[in-house]
Amino acid sequence: MAANLDDIDRRLLTAVQKNNRLTADELGEIAGVSRSAVQRRLKRFRDEGIVEADISVVSAKAVGRPMTFVVEVEMERERTDLLDEFRRSMLKLDDVQQCYYVTGQADFILVVTAPDMTAYEEFSRHVFNDNPNIRRFHSNVVIDRVKAGLQVPV
């Protein structure tokens, strides 16, 4: 269910999605409210799960993980327990940036980073080839990141 947001909420959420290091005073100027009103609203956003996390976006290339792969995974059997097991295994893997359970040809779409092709090959052998419930997987190597983000229009 969508949260009940007014124009001030929308301005604040748009601003913090672009830069969550803005001060309450700066946000107040953007939204046209006081610092304390900003703080109350931000607390409500976090308490209600509207803001899920306050994070820093780290350059994968800068930390030695310049390769990105978009991987389609098709499961052999779609039993709930096996799907849940795969979901749990993805949550534990730092190489996996994103994991989506999807409709269509694939059952899951993953975004994976790696330092090089050798490391990705090892990852794919361990995660995909050694899993008897994976029918097939298809890896797409990202040539150029055109846009990446988690901003949501509000």
Q: What local confidence, expressed as pLDDT, does residue 32 receive? A: 97
111 Cβ neighbours under 8 A, 6+ residues apart: 68, 69, 70, 71, 96, 97, 98, 99
Q: What is the pLDDT of residues 139-152, one digit of tens each?
A: 999 999 999 999 99
Q: How far is CA 30 from the centre of its chain?
A: 27
Q: What is the token pair recorded at 29?
A: 């100027």
Whether pLDDT at 42 is above 90: yes
Q: What is the pLDDT of residues 61-81, one digit of tens each?
A: 999 999 999 999 999 998 999
Q: What local confidence, expressed as pLDDT, does residue 1 receive? A: 65
What is the rounded average pLDDT of the residues 47-58?
A: 94
Q: What local confidence, expressed as pLDDT, does residue 3 receive? A: 79
Amino acid at 103: T
